[in-house]
Each structure stands twice: as C-alpha cells, then as structure tokens.
C-alpha cells in the first residue's frame, strides 16, 4: 500500500501508466486481494473508532489503484 500510495502522489503521476500496464499485463498474485482487503478494513476500522491511523490518508489517496489490484487479483483467483 505504501508504494501504491507513492505513485498516487502528484509528484509521481508520470508512473500511472506504468502501474496500469503492470496491473493489466504482469500482476499475477491470485491471493493478494485477501491481504489488501484485510489491511484496508483494518485501517478503516481504526480510523472509524477515532484512533490515530497515519497510513489512512495515503491509503485513501491510492484507493483507485488498491481496488484495481484487488479486482485483478480476484479475477485471476477465479480463473
């Protein structure tokens, strides 16, 4: 999530096309969706309780790509 968050940052916008191509053509982790969903849920649970969760902002900024990884992983798993 940290690396995805970096790419979602404006400074690294030029890497968006590289990340998109990687997700579509080279990403092959069939079980990554489980871990990504688990981490995302944990961050949201901590944040919703009002506790300090430093990675939540970075995670929400990168949510588009996190979901692309989750969807791609789940699609690969179901094949």
The predicted structure's pLDDT at residue 69: 96
Over 80: is that where the pLDDT of 63 sits? yes
Phi and psi of 22, rounded to 5°?
A: -60, -45
- Per residue in 9-43, pLDDT (tens digit) is 778 888 889 999 999 999 999 999 999 999 999 99
How far is Cα 67 from Cα 48, in angstroms, rounded to an integer? 20
**Token couple for 27:** 């990403």
Domain, as residue range, for 51: 2-78
The gap from C-alpha 75 to its chain's centroid, in whole angstroms, comes to 15
The predicted structure's pLDDT at residue 51: 83
What total number of domains does the chain contain?
Answer: 1
The 3-class secondary structure across 13-37, one letter per residue, is HHHHHHHHHHHHHHCCCCCHHHHHH
């Amino acid at each position: 999530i940290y690396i995805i968050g970096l790419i979602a940052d404006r400074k690294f916008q030029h890497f968006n096309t590289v990340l998109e191509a990687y997700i579509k053509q080279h990403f092959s982790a069939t079980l990554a969706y489980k871990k990504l969903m688990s981490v995302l849920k944990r961050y949201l649970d901590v944040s919703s309780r009002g506790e300090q969760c430093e990675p939540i902002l970075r995670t929400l900024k990168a949510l588009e790509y996190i979901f692309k990884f989750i969807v791609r992983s789940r699609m690969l798993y179901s094949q």
